[in-house]
């Protein structure tokens, strides 16, 4: 297994445990700062898919808590 395939596995694992993150917003921001363009296309696809999954998790959690201020911060950030 090469580095890129390993990275793909880590991304999938990260998203599968996202509900246990204490600060998923920081994780999302860190992922958005990543240099995705340097990765092979199929790994980029997994990376972007997992960013969307994490964003959806954050929005869903925020909506369940009815935290309008945080929702605006998440969407407008």
Count of structural domains within the chain: 1
Q: Is residue 16 part of a domain?
A: no
Q: Is residue 33 part of a domain?
A: yes
Residue-level pLDDT at 77: 63
Q: Is residue 17 part of a domain?
A: no
pTM of the model: 0.73
pLDDT-based confidence at 9, cuts 50/70/90?
A: confident
**pLDDT tens digits along 24-68:** 888 888 888 878 788 888 888 888 888 888 888 888 888 888 877
39 lies in which domain range?
3-8+22-76
Residue 11 has pLDDT above 80, yes or no: no
Q: Is residue 13 part of a domain?
A: no
Residue-level pLDDT at 1: 60
Residues with Cβ within 8 Å of residue 36, at least 6 apart in sequence: 44, 47, 48
- The DSSP symbol for 67 reads -
């Amino acid at each position: 297994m090469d580095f890129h395939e390993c990275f793909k596995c880590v991304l999938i694992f990260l998203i599968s445990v996202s509900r246990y993150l204490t600060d998923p917003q920081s994780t999302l921001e860190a992922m958005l700062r990543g240099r995705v363009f340097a990765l092979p296309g199929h790994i980029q696809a997994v990376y972007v898919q997992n960013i969307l999954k994490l964003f959806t998790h954050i929005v869903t959690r925020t909506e369940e808590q009815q935290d309008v201020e945080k929702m605006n911060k998440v969407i407008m950030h």
